[in-house]
Amino acid sequence: MPFASNPYDALKGLSKYLRQFRGKTFVVKLGGEVLDEPESRRKVVEQIGVLWTLSIRVVVVHGGGARLDQLCGQLNLPIEKHAGRRVTTPEVLDAAKMVFNGVNTDLLAEMNRVGVPGVGLTGVDAGMIKARKRAPIYMGEDDGGRPRLFDYGQVGDIEQIDPTLLKHLLESDYVPVLAPLSGAPDGSIFNTNADTIASHVAAVLGAEKLFFVLKVPGLLKDVKNPSSLITFATLARLDEMEARGELAGGMLPKVAAIRHAINQGVQSAHLVSGVTADALLVECFTNEGAGTMIVKDGD
């Protein structure tokens, strides 16, 4: 259903979506490549403001990878990624803390501009996201028969999420804005993939929808062709695409996050552009959508 030219007809058409989503929780993960463009960041936050105004409970999780790459380059720190996930030395972790704080503050400032009461957090706040250091990965044996291990460094795998603080904020009509850091009971701090955090948060909150806001229109058949958008997919189709090698890089942790969220009860996941005007709202409030909708199966 495209938006009608008559605003009252548009409201009538929207009413079924508003009834369906009022009071529900949406988790929106914003990619760093979108947030680094002030105009894109402004437009996405305006759309989040509309969702909040319509009594949809919104949790924002953000990345900051592109800005972290830039700072690491300036500091002559290694930029190393494996299967779409960053290797984090103690020095890179310090840089990540600086970057994520800056991205978080920029988002909160934009929310202030549109009248949305955002609250900046990390997974370390109130022990919200408990994680453990990722164990080294076995990579086979070297020529001498010794095991080769790949160590991600200060990267945390989520063990538990306590949703108490998030629920308190949502019930008080705030919008939590969560940076991708997690902690351990011994005081350790970890860099944790923002897609993974968004997925686990959506699952523990029983979210209706999980959104990934990207620089591209959604899931593409051909990553070099923006017009090859796949508008609807099931988990089985994602499995097939991954088996054929059609998913790579940063899309791999997103697909893993989508699988986790949907298998834990989130109704649908969406990949949508943060560059195209109003794409998030179109995806929410029209039949045609603007990106890719992913569900558990096609029934």
Tell me: the pLDDT tens digits for 4-22? 566 677 677 777 778 888 8
Q: Are strands 85-86 and 81-82 parallel, antiparallel or unpaired?
A: antiparallel
Q: Where are the alpha helices (DSSP H) in the chain?
A: 7-21, 32-35, 38-53, 65-74, 90-113, 164-171, 194-205, 235-243, 251-263, 279-285
pLDDT of residue 49: 95
Domain 15-295 falls under CATH 3.40.1160.10: yes
Q: In whole angstroms, what is the distance from residue 24 CA to residue 43 CA?
A: 22
Closest residue by Cα to residue 104 from 190, 39, 194: 194
Asked whether the predicted pLDDT for residue 157 surpasses 70, the reply is yes
| Cα separations in angstroms, 176 against 118, 136, 167 | 6, 32, 9
- Cβ burial 102-116 (10 Å sphere, 16+ → b, else e): ebbebbbebbeebeb
| Domain boundaries along the sequence of the chain | 15-295
**pLDDT at site 84:** 67
Taking the CB of residue 27, how many other CB atoms lie within 10 A of it?
A: 29
Residue type, 209: K
Select from 266, 243, 271 the least CA-distant residue to 34: 271
pLDDT score of 114 more than 70? yes
| CA dist., res. 7 & res. 216, Å (int) | 29
Instruction: Kindly report the pTM of this predicted structure.
Output: 0.89
